[in-house]
Structure formats: C-alpha cells, structure tokens
A = this chain, B = another copy of it.
C-alpha cells in the first residue's frame, strides 16, 4: 500500500541506502510504522503494534531508531513531503497561470486519492505536538512558495488576466476545496452508508467542480 511513497519522498533515501541484511529489518519497521502512525496517530500506535506488524521486536525498534519519537519524526517528515513536494514544484513553475492553478488542484486530488489519511494525520499531530514538527515544516520554506505565488498573482492582475486576488484567501480556498473532501471521507461513508468506492467516484467528479469554481473566481467577468 505504501510502496509508492518513495516516489514522493526522496529524503526517505537517507534511511534506505544501506545494503546489509539489516536494511530489511529497518525497512519492515518503517513500513509498519508508516501504516500505523498515519492511521492511528502517535498515541494510537504503540511500539508493540509496530513490532508485531513488522515481524520484529521492540528491541529492534529502539536499536535502529533510538526511540518511538525519533521513528515518528521520520514518518512525519515523509508524509509531509508526500503532500507538499509536487505542489510546491508546481507553484514555483513558470506555467501559464490558469494551467498552473488547474495543475495545483489536480495534483492534490491525485496525491490525496492515494494517501487520503495523511492530512488528518498531519493536522492532528500539529495540534498536539507542534514544536519539533514546525521545524521540519519550516525547512521546506513554505513562506518562499507563498511569496512566489503572491508575485505571480500580482503580475497577472496587472496584465488583466485575473481579478484582484488576495493570496492568502485564495490559498485557503484552494486548500479547503482540495483537502477537506478527503478528511471528510470516513465520516461521510459511515454516516451516509455509501460505499468507499462510491465516495471515491464522488470525489473524482468533485475535482472538476472545484477546478471550475476556482477558475471562475479568478477570471474577470468579461473573460468568462
């Protein structure tokens, strides 16, 4: 299930470049930790569970990763990069503005369809345990990305391509429309009784609405 995580998380290589037999144990622990931490959060996943799921034992975990918390930080970093790397690359590209926005939304829907549990995981851990996690996030320089987006929006507004658009409000809207449907997944499925497959189809269709919504809000009336 998490195999393809590697595509999005180059930093993860740091922990997988060994060639000895021990690599296998580390890998198995990481795979189990990924699954359990992201599903159940830090408190909800015990090292005992992780040891059992990876067919190792608690001593292995502490031998290779020093502590439960250190292992957790590695998983958090990975998960954050999954959500952010592709999107940051798009936001810093020089694509035409409407294409960029569409690619931005689409890449969220694509990544989140594969890893729907990550946003809730991150938002949760940030709520209960911010300090050391903030460091991990700030290293990715989100401010720089926001500034670049601001400059882009201002430039296009001057050209008359888009309306006056406050960057922060616009960013919150895009995030809201992309991320929330996935956070809401399990709630909706449990309460409405639709199957997970049906909800996936609903979200797939929903992406189109979101793209139209956002582009219409950006374009000045005369261009619509």
Contact = CB atoms under 8 A, between A and B. Distances in A.
Interface residues of A, number: 45
A172 B206 contact: yes
> Is chain A's binding surface mostly helix, strand, loop or mixed?
helix
Contacts of A166: 209
Interface in A170-189: 172-173, 175-177, 179-181, 183-184, 186-187
Contacts of A213: 173, 213, 217
A169 interface: yes
Nearest to A122: B187
A166 B173 CA distance: 20
Interface of A: 40-41, 43-44, 120, 122-124, 126-128, 130, 134, 137-138, 142-143, 166, 168-169, 172-173, 175-177, 179-181, 183-184, 186-187, 190-192, 202, 205-206, 209-210, 213, 216-217, 221, 224
9 contacts: A123-B183, A127-B187, A134-B190, A142-B192, A173-B213, A175-B180, A176-B176, A216-B216, A216-B217
Given A130-B186, A134-B190, 6 more contacts: A40-B128, A126-B186, A142-B191, A169-B209, A175-B180, A176-B180
